[in-house]
Structure 1
Amino acid sequence: MTRHPTEHPQFYLTAPAACPYLEGKQERKVFTHLIGKHAPTLNDVLTHGGFRRSQNIAYRPACEDCRACVSVRVCVAEFKWTKSLKRQWKLGQDILGARLPTSPSSEQYDLFKSYLATRHENGGMTDMSVLDYAMMIEDTHVDTMVLEYRSKGPDSFITGIGQGPLLGVALTDQLCDGLSMVYSFYDPDFDGIGLGTYMILDHIVRAQKLGLPYVYLGYWVDGSPKMTYKVRFKPQEHLGPDGWAKVD
């Protein structure tokens, strides 16, 4: 009997490349494919082991002389609402996140390009075409959702969908024990609220309502200013050599 190859995933190692987070460092990644009927289960297992998803690839750092990348997940049930986070949440109460199928749109792509041009001008995603973006959204064999954030309209309490211009987008996987924020972007010119912070808070509230214990935020990179925002959401657990450990 021939079994589906995803029951026994094969792992590969990338060649060294310049690290996007720490100057002067080289990065390597170990990766495997997430395809077929076993992809959701494999995605759960690998995420618990510190992997991240990009389209149908699961990867994690495998750098020889650096351990700066640390997997982070927020402990939802014990989440601490600081004064600052409460203020951010209150400021965003006129914004509604609507769960949609994984279908890309030109409006999403325009916002994506605007976000990259402002926040990640020299990043590796700046040259992504419309087709590349569509693949990022659609190419998945796991339980994935798109959350679109817009201002509430007069009919939002009925439709559950905001109105007006698109303010933010989150591509999110639903795991057996949490929500994993695969990628998110937002209007860099929107005033009055930190949309990135609000979107994470929205995921924490969603996970609470779903009875899921964690929100996975990807990697916190010690020494990278780009990643300092992740430590605001406490308590959280970091993945180390002995497994997940709480950091308060």
Structure 2
Amino acid sequence: MTRQFTDNPQFYLTAPSPCPYLAGRQERKVFTHLVGERANALNDVLTQGGFRRSQNIAYRPACEGCRACLSIRIVVDDFDWTASLRRVLKTNDDIVGTVTPPRPSSEQYSLFHRYLETRHADGGMADMSVVDYAMMVEDTHVDTVLVEYRARTADSAITGRGHGPLIAAALTDRLSDGLSMVYSFFDPEPARRGLGTFLILDHIRRARAAGLPYVYLGYWVEGSPKMGYKQRFRPQEVLGPTGWRRV
């Protein structure tokens, strides 16, 4: 059940449900619909205000007595390319990402399903059907792309495309001040590649090339092992009561 939260645009508040990040806690979300001509501008404003997008919904946590979820974004121009992160780039130099429209495919779903089974079998997305996945990708009224990663070949420098099986994919929103990584997934087998880290590093490079100052990573939750990887990417800005501050 939901109830109306405010007007213009209309916001709603979800009923309490178990928190997926911190055991024993309840979560609530405030959300609104991203539809119509103003969807793109609204997505910009809301993302900068700590919301995330899922299909045509923008949401943020609104939990009573808990402020553990912190919105974070990477500062692109000052990014610290540490030796370990550069090694990840070098390891994955044989992969190239191609920007495509947000159109689902059976190949994407197969990789998505394999990724969830291996990495998030107990998560809320584990039982997503082909139809659910298609909705996640294509149900958008904002500036969204899908970046598909495949093996680099001799002509990739000219065509900008890779070839062969799909290795990874990232659903990404393009904002006025950055790239927002909505959801990404990858081949779970070659763990040594650090593909999850590589996708974020590649988006940092893409944002810099486009002259965009930020890469939005969603929420970081202190005490949640699922979110620990996000601390590698610095400097970051965290959204607090007085606005964004660098950490």
Q: Same fold (TM over 0.5)?
A: yes
* Structure 2 partner of 1:60: 60
SS of the aligned residue for 1:176 comes to coil
* Structure 1 partner of 2:125: 125
* Structure 1 partner of 2:226: 226
* Structure 2 partner of 1:208: 208
Residues 212-234 of structure 1: CA distance to partner in whole angstroms, max 9, x if unpaired? 00000000011000101101100
Most deviating of 181-190 and 150-159: 150-159
AA aligned opposite 1:14: T
AA aligned opposite 1:85: L
* Structure 2 partner of 1:183: 183
Question: Separation in 2 of the partners of 1:23 and 1:192?
Answer: 30
TM-score (norm 2): 0.96
Deviation at 1:65, TM superposition (A): 1.4
Residues 190-239 of structure 1: CA distance to partner in whole angstroms, max 9, x if unpaired? 24310000000000000000000000000001100010110110001000
Most deviating of 159-168 and 57-66: 159-168
Deviation at 1:103, TM superposition (A): 0.6
SS of the aligned residue for 1:192 comes to helix
Q: Which runs of 5+ in 1 are unaligned?
A: 1-6
AA aligned opposite 1:15: A
SS of the aligned residue for 1:110 comes to helix
Question: Separation in 2 of the partners of 1:226 and 1:15?
Answer: 24
Question: Separation in 2 of the partners of 1:143 and 1:171?
Answer: 11
* Structure 2 partner of 1:97: 97
Deviation at 1:8, TM superposition (A): 2.2
Question: Separation in 2 of the partners of 1:150 and 1:173?
Answer: 20
Map 1:100-119 onto structure 2 (within 5 A). Answer: 100-119=100-119
Residues 29-82 of structure 1: CA distance to partner in whole angstroms, max 9, x if unpaired? 000000001000000000011000000000000000111100000000000101
Q: Which runs of 5+ in 2 are unaligned?
A: 1-6
Question: Separation in 2 of the partners of 1:159 and 1:16?
Answer: 49
* Structure 2 partner of 1:162: 162
Question: Separation in 1 of the partners of 2:20 and 2:13?
Answer: 18
TM-score (norm 1): 0.95
Q: Does 1:151 align with 2:151?
A: yes
Deviation at 1:101, TM superposition (A): 0.7
Residues 110-134 of structure 1: CA distance to partner in whole angstroms, max 9, x if unpaired? 0000000011111111111111111
Question: Separation in 1 of the partners of 2:191 and 2:38?
Answer: 43
Deviation at 1:245, TM superposition (A): 0.2
Map 1:66-85 onto structure 2 (within 5 A). Answer: 66-85=66-85
SS of the aligned residue for 1:206 comes to helix
**Number of positions where the alignment pairs a residue of Structure 1 with one of Structure 2:** 241
